[in-house]
Homo-oligomer: A and B are copies of this chain.
Amino acid sequence: MHPPLADRLALEDLMVAYCYAVDALDDLDALLALFTADAELDFSAIGLPVLRGRTEMRRFYQGVFADMRHHTHCLTNFQVEQYRPERAVTRAYVHGLGIDRRGTAVEVHVRYRMECRLAPAGWRIARYWITPGMPLPGDLAAVHGDRY
């Protein structure tokens, strides 16, 4: 089933909004508001944790925001993979760059996949997976993973 154009663009906007929120590094509530309260985030394919629910998400991104000085996540190749009126699966490529507070730079090419649900206030992320696009540098866990 093809998504209506408004949903197609709203779903792309949601993934882009995540990039802005995770790159702003300063507003946890705005970031968490993009997710359902019971969202599950599975970063295990890139050596990072699985997070279930708002408390675990908050703790993880609090660590990310504390650790990173610069963040840039460039989204390309957005695609709606599955669509039903109140549930969609979307994916994209992401070129991610970061510099942490010690000055360590990291650069990755990964894939995002999101299962989204239509809530009264708009589309929200209910499940979110990151998988490698290109082989990951060894320093990814060094930058993001040291709290786990």
Contact = CB atoms under 8 A, between A and B. Distances in A.
Contacts of A109: 72, 74, 97
Contact of A134 (B5, B16, B79, B99): B99
A70 interface: yes
Nearest to A15: B77
Interface residues of A, number: 26
Contacts of A16: 77-79
A6 to B, nearest CB: 6
How many copies of this chain does the complex contain?
Answer: 3
Interface in A115-148: 133-135
A16 B73 CA distance: 18
Nearest to A95: B74
A138 B77 CA distance: 27
Interface string A63-85: 00000001011111111000000
A134 B75 contact: no
A109 to B, nearest CB: 5
A93 interface: yes
A78 to B, nearest CB: 7
Nearest to A93: B74
